[in-house]
Amino acid sequence: MTRFAWGVATDVGRVRQANEDAVLADDAVFAVADGMGGHRGGEIASQLAVDTLRDTFTVPSTDALVESVQDANDALFDRAGDDPDLQGMGTTLCAMALVDGDGRDLIGVVNVGDSRLYLLNDGELRQITEDHSLVATLERQGRLTRAEAAVHPQRNILTRALGIDSKVMVDSWEVLPVAGDRYLICSDGLFNELDDARIAATLRKLADPGEAARELVRLALEAGGRDNVTCVVVDVVDDDGRDPDVVYEAEPQPDPPPPADPPPTSTEPVPIGGPVRHRRSFTWRVALFVLIVLVIAGAAVGAIYYAGTNTFYVGFSGEQVTIYRGRPGGVLWIQPTIAEVTSITRVDVPSSRVSELEKGKDEASLDDARSYVSRLQEQIDQLRPSTTTTAPPTTSTTASAAIQAATDESTP
Ligand code: MN
């Protein structure tokens, strides 16, 4: 029988007023959610996400885990629709759970947003999940290095979060539990303060998962503590005496390798412990949804619609700095919609900028709006008596050039 030992630590940090991270650690389900939104929206969003996950995840399968994340998205979207104070609230959600894979224990992993799941295997740390952030996208395209992404002024822009839209795309993986493996689920408040080497060293040093989680949080506070920070450390303490190599050959693969051959060298991140299947939930529901959207868009498109949606502005959604598509106040029947969320809150914003953000700062394109957020973040970084992570000027120039290059290619 697969068994886990785990430890949890969370802290509001040294700058924020409230802890908008939420955490779930049960016998077989572990999750971290990092909320955003004003009027306590961030706290409500992250707590609602982990509560919904805990309550709806009853069948131990990865598909059920993905469904639970969709349920959490529904719960947030409905709640935000009912309460104007909570409009625009959202959250990340990163979770792992023990699931049944055709009679064999597996670890199902799901992720939306930029919280992370790491695996420490044989002393080596690797990130299993992919961040849904603008800088991570640029990093995957080879336009930014990991070090540049870590200090990039646009690192706060998320490309996916729960509660923003009626449907959400959920990434999922399956990993084989192997005794001795250690998992870490954390919010960005950890890895924005500590690099991977520091995280790995701490996870190697402290055998007790609770001690390791508390030490990671302590180090993040010491490095600046500019955000809420949350860590769940999960150790696989019993895997039923499984031999990973034997199981690997017996494991049915989505693309079966040629029978007599050893497992092919991986193209997807494969923890040494066993096979990983990385799936994105492009279900028929998503396909249908896309079709419906296309039909509606085809019927409704017109000059006014164009005028109302082909422009962007940056404003507050509650307490949260947010990029909107549309015009402040809307154009005729077309209300502005959220294009991208950021984790910059009103308390972070220099007072000189507050009134223009309250009115809504018009920008001609999404890239212009992102640049505005970028400048805002740079201004915040400069105002703060920073202890460690400040981008040297050369890095900033490289990063801006990379963004510019991305812009040039994506716009005809
Ligand atoms: Mn955060």
C-alpha 187 to ligand 1 mean position (Å): 6
Is residue 172 within 8 Å of residue 110, measured between CB atoms? yes
Is residue 323 within 8 Å of residue 343, measured between CB atoms? no
C-alpha 346 to ligand 1 mean position (Å): 15
Cβ contacts of residue 43 below 8 Å, gap of 6+?
18, 19, 20, 22, 35
In one-letter notation, the amino acid at residue 101 is G
Structural tokens at position 352: 């000189």
C-alpha 228 to ligand 1 mean position (Å): 6
pTM of the model: 0.67
C-alpha 21 to ligand 1 mean position (Å): 7
C-alpha 227 to ligand 1 mean position (Å): 6
C-alpha 31 to ligand 1 mean position (Å): 14
In whole angstroms, give the CA distance from residue 339 to residue 271: 35
> Which helix H or strand E contains 230, and what residues bound it?
strand 229-239
In whole angstroms, give the CA distance from residue 127 to residue 40: 30
pLDDT at 313: 94
pLDDT at 389: 47
C-alpha 126 to ligand 1 mean position (Å): 20
C-alpha 229 to ligand 1 mean position (Å): 7
pLDDT at 122: 93
Tens of each residue's pLDDT in the chain, 412 residues: 899 999 999 999 999 999 999 999 998 999 999 999 877 899 999 999 999 999 999 999 999 999 999 999 999 999 999 998 898 899 999 999 999 988 889 999 999 999 999 999 999 999 999 999 999 999 999 999 989 998 898 888 999 999 999 999 999 999 999 999 999 999 999 999 999 999 999 999 999 999 999 999 999 999 999 999 999 999 999 987 765 554 433 333 344 333 333 333 333 443 444 445 565 555 556 666 677 777 776 776 677 777 777 889 999 988 889 999 988 888 777 888 888 888 898 888 998 899 999 999 999 899 999 999 999 999 888 887 655 444 444 434 344 434 444 444 444 4
pLDDT at 259: 37
C-alpha 241 to ligand 1 mean position (Å): 38
DSSP string, 103-161: TEEEEEEEEESS-EEEEEETTEEEE-S---BHHHHHHHTTSS-HHHHHH-TTTT-BS--
In whole angstroms, give the CA distance from residue 50 to residue 52: 5
pLDDT at 255: 40
C-alpha 238 to ligand 1 mean position (Å): 32
C-alpha 226 to ligand 1 mean position (Å): 9
C-alpha 149 to ligand 1 mean position (Å): 15
C-alpha 12 to ligand 1 mean position (Å): 10
C-alpha 190 to ligand 1 mean position (Å): 8
Structural tokens at position 387: 């202890």
> Taking Cα atoms as reference points, which of 86, 55, 49 lies closest to residue 70?
49
pLDDT at 266: 35
pLDDT at 407: 44
C-alpha 48 to ligand 1 mean position (Å): 16
pLDDT at 229: 98
- Token pair 């981008």 in the structure block, residue: 391
C-alpha 347 to ligand 1 mean position (Å): 14
DSSP 376: H
pLDDT at 31: 98
C-alpha 69 to ligand 1 mean position (Å): 19
Which residues are placed with Cβ below 5 angstroms of ligand 1, an ion?
A: 34, 187-189, 227
C-alpha 326 to ligand 1 mean position (Å): 27
DSSP 367: H
In whole angstroms, give the CA distance from residue 276 to residue 175: 5
C-alpha 63 to ligand 1 mean position (Å): 27
In whole angstroms, give the CA distance from residue 138 to residue 374: 15
